[in-house]
Structure 1
Amino acid sequence: MSSFFKVTTLCALGAVLFTGCTSNDISTENVRTVSMHAVSAQGTGESVGTVLLSDSPTGLVIRTHLKQLPAGERGFHVHENGSCAPAMKDGKMGAALAAGSHYNPNQAPNHGTPSTGHLGDFPALKVSTDGTARVTLLAPRVKLADIKGRALMIHAGGDNYSDHPLPLGGGGERIACGVI
């Protein structure tokens, strides 16, 4: 087993446990930095940081460097369209609605976990009391090539990985977005 494979596998397994890894521990061939911005019905606002996406043998490694977010758990997903623009829904302008729904090319019938739901269903994002999120997560069924050109979204609410009692995990309004 190559040294690179061992380090990358350990890094990805560590990501599951939220221990993190350095940028030297992941392949630089397929890395994308996504600039994330606050969104509202009026459009895209100030920067809230970046998200680094990189392929690993066990899935997509997601490293967040975010700030100025509401503390607590937030829904975190890939949406089908590469736009963070507002759009109309039910006669009302909504934040980042041009991004469309969760990325779901396999037509999964329900929102779920990163292992069972839409391919765009990522692990929930944990934001510290100071408004920062510096965590490493893993999306086991996704590769960077699958999601290039799509939108990465942070929602106002948490994510219960179900469509009940609210659809799409109950994440609600879109508060930050970036195009991958």
Structure 2
Amino acid sequence: MKKISLAMVVLFACGAAQAASEDVEMHLVTPQGIGQSIGEVEIEETDNGLKFTPDLKALPPGERGFHIHANGSCEPAMKDGKPSAAEAAGGHLDPQTTGKHQGPEGAGHIGDLPVLLVDKDGNAKEAVTAPRLKKLDEVKGKALMIHVGGDNMSDKPEPLGGGGARFACGVIK
């Protein structure tokens, strides 16, 4: 009886089976700066990879490009001689420098996530999982980005899946 009680105390004290998670506040971004909050995305470690659960509003309906970017900043920066929204976030997270956009299951950028689905009212609530990302530590200090366009998980016919301009951004702390 004492062995069972001691085991239960140890499990309780250690917080057994407690997956690491982080809430990321997402903001609209423009070439002028960071705007209003549009909600949060919870990032959670699972056996299948990092799970991204959005609770977002005020997005354009449809499929949106969704990525981890290399730098932990949502500030504008110069691109092609003009201020660009959240450009300080850098490119897609690509620590192996593959230079390829092949989606969350491909061998390219590790920051490529499944598309974010936005309903007709501009809300995103459907979770997606990135199977190649296993630990929250891999993305801490990086930016989570939502693009104006969708993502075809290829560099053709448009680079980086055709996601286009950066629409919303949050820093993973």
Secondary structure of the residue aligned to 1:169 is helix
**Larger Rg computed on CA atoms:** 2
CA contact (8 A) 2:19 2:46 kept: no
Q: Give the 5 Å matches for 1:1-180.
A: 28-116=18-106, 117-142=108-133, 143-180=135-172
Divergent runs of 4+, >3 A: none
Residues in 2 aligned to 1:88 and 1:28: alpha-carbon distance in whole angstroms = 42
CA contact (8 A) 1:36 1:48 kept: yes
TM-score, normalised via structure 1 length: 0.84
Offset of 1:29 from its aligned partner?
4.0
Secondary structure of the residue aligned to 1:149 is coil
Offset of 1:175 from its aligned partner?
0.4
Structure 1 gap ranges (5+): 1-26
2:64 maps to amino acid: R
TM-score, normalised via structure 2 length: 0.87
Offset of 1:111 from its aligned partner?
0.1
Secondary structure of the residue aligned to 1:145 is helix
Summarize deviations over 1:127-164 as a string: whole Å, max 9, x none: 00000000111000102110001000000000000000
Offset of 1:30 from its aligned partner?
1.1
The share of aligned pairs that are identical, in percent, is 55
Structure 2 gap ranges (5+): 1-16
CA contact (8 A) 2:68 2:139 kept: yes
Residues in 2 aligned to 1:61 and 1:125: alpha-carbon distance in whole angstroms = 12
Residues in 2 aligned to 1:99 and 1:160: alpha-carbon distance in whole angstroms = 21
Summarize deviations over 1:94-118 as a string: whole Å, max 9, x none: 0000000000002223101201121
Residues in 2 aligned to 1:57 and 1:161: alpha-carbon distance in whole angstroms = 23
CA contact (8 A) 2:27 2:39 kept: yes
1:158 maps to amino acid: G
Aligned residues: 154
Q: Cα RMSD over matched residues?
A: 0.9
Secondary structure of the residue aligned to 2:149 is coil
Residues in 2 aligned to 1:45 and 1:123: alpha-carbon distance in whole angstroms = 25
